[in-house]
Amino acid sequence: MSFKVAFIGAGSIGFTRGLLRDLLSVPEFHNIEVAFTDINEHNLDMVTQLCQRDIDENGLNIKIQPTLDRREAFKDAKYIFSVVRIGGLEAFQTDVDIPLKYGVDQCVGDTLCAGGIMYGQRGIAAMLDICKDIREVADPNVLLLNYANPMAMMTWACNKYGGVRTIGLCHGVQGGHWQIATALGLKKEEVDIICAGINHQTWYISVKHNGEDLTGKILEAFESHPEFSQTEKVRIDMLRRFGYYSTESNGHLSEYVPWYRKRPEEINDWIDLGVWINGETGGYLRVCTEGRNWFETDFPNWLKEKPMEYKPESRSEEHGSWIIEGLETGRVYRGHFNVVNNGVISNLPDDAIIEAPGYVDRNGINMPHVGDLPLGCAAVCNVSISVQRLAVEAAVHGDDLLLRQAMMMDPLTGAVCNPKEIWQMTDEMLVAQEKWLPQYGKAIAEAKERLALGNLLPTKDDYKGAARIKVKTVEEMAQDREASSKNAVEADKAKERPAEVK
């Protein structure tokens, strides 16, 4: 069978290459068309060289179509993967550093909190333009598979305002599933789960082994586990107080709620610095910066290494290829997908983007009714949904009042900052990110005027955060090439489980 798959943001080495391997590990897909598009010609060229080499070494007669013209890439595409990072690391730096001046200490800053909200403003502005091109030139039944964060906001905007059927995909459920099985001393395939909520705040509301409900035994298992008891203190505390384990990593989760990062002197009590995702200040920004620098420096050696193998046992658990396989071949796939709620979770709003179990076959993507989340879990999700809704509407309409309200309603930002500080911080972030925020022209001009007047609230301009680690130089990374190359691949998305776990 033949159809066209396009990747936008294809210059992201780890994710693009891995997703392509997954797709081409399906025997029926050995004749598909593949197009890559990115705004960075240098990155696009490097990733295309690597992926084409993988294709050739696996004996497939597929020639990647790399192009800076996204409309050319989208033309007649049936499936489009979005792995964009609007503003790149330059904008990401301001997502982390400006809030830090006001005491908002983020580990990641790409989903909620001040950084995630601004990431959404940039991403939604770009995605609405991208969706226009998709509507005009892609296959009429095109499916947009969104891997870009902030997942819920981006997927919400594409479905409501972009006019493109969009599903959001994340591997957090798989990672937590593996953790739960490991804590219980079981194999992952032996543990049956139902996980529901919103992206990065999805809850394992049912955990069973051979029909026995083990949900009530998870807390003791995590508290007594020698590694997880140290690396997942926030998740364990949330489990202790809400009764259910959450999908997201310790560092991610700590910045979505108001309790664990609001007092600098307490942050280190809740995090672990062995791996960035466990809570390091600006940890994701650091590994992404190191990964980019290393890939650009070491690229010639990447071409000398063994190519990826396109075979079933090498395929990852990322949902994208499995969804396309189900739709095209009829083989049934069960995964957890981010979709418009429409009553799937009955005590979350219908317009929200929820994450819940779904089934895929030739008939489409079908989401069974989950019903009510436990009240405490629903309450946590509903706070975040309110922030997401405000942020989406702000981004679509260029409404800086809604943007400021989103910042005020954000749990951690609101716990750390008072309203005047939030207003000033938002001014700073709007001005710093002006070139990626075309919808905010008037608001940015007014923000510049206010900042130019002086008499500003004091900020901690030299504050580095409670747990920041220095970015390694290329020379330092060269001392351990294997670890640096692994980091460059995985910097696209955080892993919560060993890479080879299936």
Query: CA-CA distance, 81 to 73, in Å (whole number)?
Result: 11
**DSSP 8-state class, residue 87:** T
Of 387, 12, 337, nearest in space to 196 by CA: 337
Backbone angles phi, psi at 462, to 5 degrees: -100, 5
Q: Tens of pLDDT along 165-176?
A: 999 999 999 999
Is the pLDDT at 285 greater than 70, yes or no? yes
Is the pLDDT at 273 greater than 70, yes or no? yes
> What Rg do the C-alpha atoms of the chain give, in angstroms?
22
**Is the N-terminal amide bond of 357 cis, ω within 30° of 0?**
no
Percent of the chain having pLDDT more than 70?
97
Dump strand ranges (E) for 296-449.
Answer: 333-340, 353-361, 364-366
Residue 491: its pLDDT value, please? 65
Catalogue the active-site residues: 171, 256
Helix (H, G, I), strand (E, B) or coil at 356: strand
Let me know: does 204 contact 193? Beta carbons within 8 Å.
yes
Query: CA-CA distance, 441 to 218, in Å (whole number)?
Result: 50
Is the pLDDT at 61 greater than 80, yes or no? yes
Q: Tens of pLDDT along 376-418?
A: 999 999 999 999 999 999 999 999 999 999 999 999 999 999 9
The model's pTM is 0.95
Residue 499: its pLDDT value, please? 34
Residue 300: its pLDDT value, please? 86
Q: Which residues are CB-neighbours of 406 under 8 A, at least 6 positions away?
A: 117, 387, 390, 391, 394
Section 337-358 average pLDDT: 98
CB atoms < 10 A from the CB of 366, how many? 9
Dump strand ranges (E) for 164-263.
Answer: 166-168, 191-198, 201-209, 212-213
Query: CA-CA distance, 214 to 499, in Å (whole number)?
Result: 26
pLDDT band at 10 (very low <50, low <70, confident <90, very high): confident
Section 18-24 average pLDDT: 97
Query: CA-CA distance, 16 to 47, in Å (whole number)?
Result: 8
Residue 492: its pLDDT value, please? 54
Query: CA-CA distance, 6 to 8, in Å (whole number)?
Result: 7
Residue 11: its pLDDT value, please? 75
Q: Which residues are CB-neighbours of 23 under 8 A, at least 6 positions away?
A: 5, 29, 32, 320, 321, 324
Section 141-160 average pLDDT: 98
Query: CA-CA distance, 407 to 399, in Å (whole number)?
Result: 13
Q: Tens of pLDDT along 296-332?
A: 888 888 888 899 999 999 999 999 999 999 999 999 9
Query: CA-CA distance, 322 to 358, in Å (whole number)?
Result: 12
Mean residue pLDDT across the chain: 95
pLDDT band at 500 (very low <50, low <70, confident <90, very high): very low
Is the pLDDT at 292 greater than 70, yes or no? yes
Tokens (6 digits) for 454: 């002086």
Section 63-84 average pLDDT: 98
For the CA atoms of 162, 166, 171, 176, the dihedral, rounded to the nearest 10 degrees, stands at 100
Residue 131: its pLDDT value, please? 98
Let me know: does 158 contact 126? Beta carbons within 8 Å.
no
Q: Tens of pLDDT along 194-228?
A: 999 999 999 999 999 999 999 999 999 999 999 99
User: What sign does the dihedral 210-216-219-221 (CA atoms) show?
Assistant: negative
pLDDT band at 490 (very low <50, low <70, confident <90, very high): low
Query: CA-CA distance, 152 to 133, in Å (whole number)?
Result: 21
